[in-house]
Amino acid sequence: MQSRNTGTDDAQASFHTQIMPLLDSAYSFARFLSRDADAAQDIVQDAFLRAHRSFGGYRGENARAWLFTIVRNCYLASIKNRRRTTRLNGDAREEDSSDAFEVPSQDDTPEEALLRKGESEAVQAAIATLPRRLREIIILREIEELSYSQIAEVTSLPIGTVMSRLSRARRKFEDAWRGHAQPDHAIAAE
């Protein structure tokens, strides 16, 4: 009986050591995917519950990729549930796109915080223009800094597809970024 509790305690400690530190990253990923703060919280809560339940099957591979796979699957499940609910209720509302998730630095002056918020909003807006399948690839690579193989694991895609989608996502992001560039910045640079 004692050894069973020790094994459970070890698993709990391992979960808290390896998975819990990824909570903020998981939320950010869910936030970028869903474009809705409340939905992202629900997705992350569901993902962590699923991760905790299935942690016994975790083989010690990359914790970040493992958790992001669960977050992505929870996001996809939430889309299916929303569509099912929409069909049943006859409700055809658009997705909510709340303000971007911001974590200010303690070293920020008000001016720096305002500039960073403006840049963050511009990046968020440019990313939001991308189709979901390109948006998730660029988020996983450029923001979450996963490797191509980790992205392939998260998305269940071949690495070649990951690379080609990332290339397309970067081009589309660049086009969207140019569209969001403000003339004031160009004048100030001259």
Q: Which residues of 25-49 are buried (b: 16+ CB within 10 A; e: fewer)?
A: bbbbbbbbbbbbbebbebbbebbbe
Domains defined along the chain, listed by start: 8-90 (1.10.1740.10), 109-190 (1.10.10.10)
C-alpha 33/C-alpha 35 separation (Å) is 6
pLDDT at 113 over 70: no
Average pLDDT of the chain to the nearest whole number: 79
Which segment of 20-29, 30-39, 109-118 scores lowest on mean pLDDT?
109-118
Please, which pLDDT band fits residue 102 given cuts at 50, 70 and 90?
A: very low
C-alpha 138/C-alpha 63 separation (Å) is 19
pLDDT at 6 over 50: yes
Q: Which two tokens stand for residue 5?
A: 């509790």
Q: Is 95 helix (H, G, I), strand (E, B) or coil?
A: coil
Q: Which two tokens stand for residue 19?
A: 């998975």
Report pLDDT for 73.
92
Q: pLDDT digits over 135-155, tens only?
A: 999 999 988 889 999 999 999
State the average pLDDT over residues 72-99: 69
C-alpha 78/C-alpha 46 separation (Å) is 10
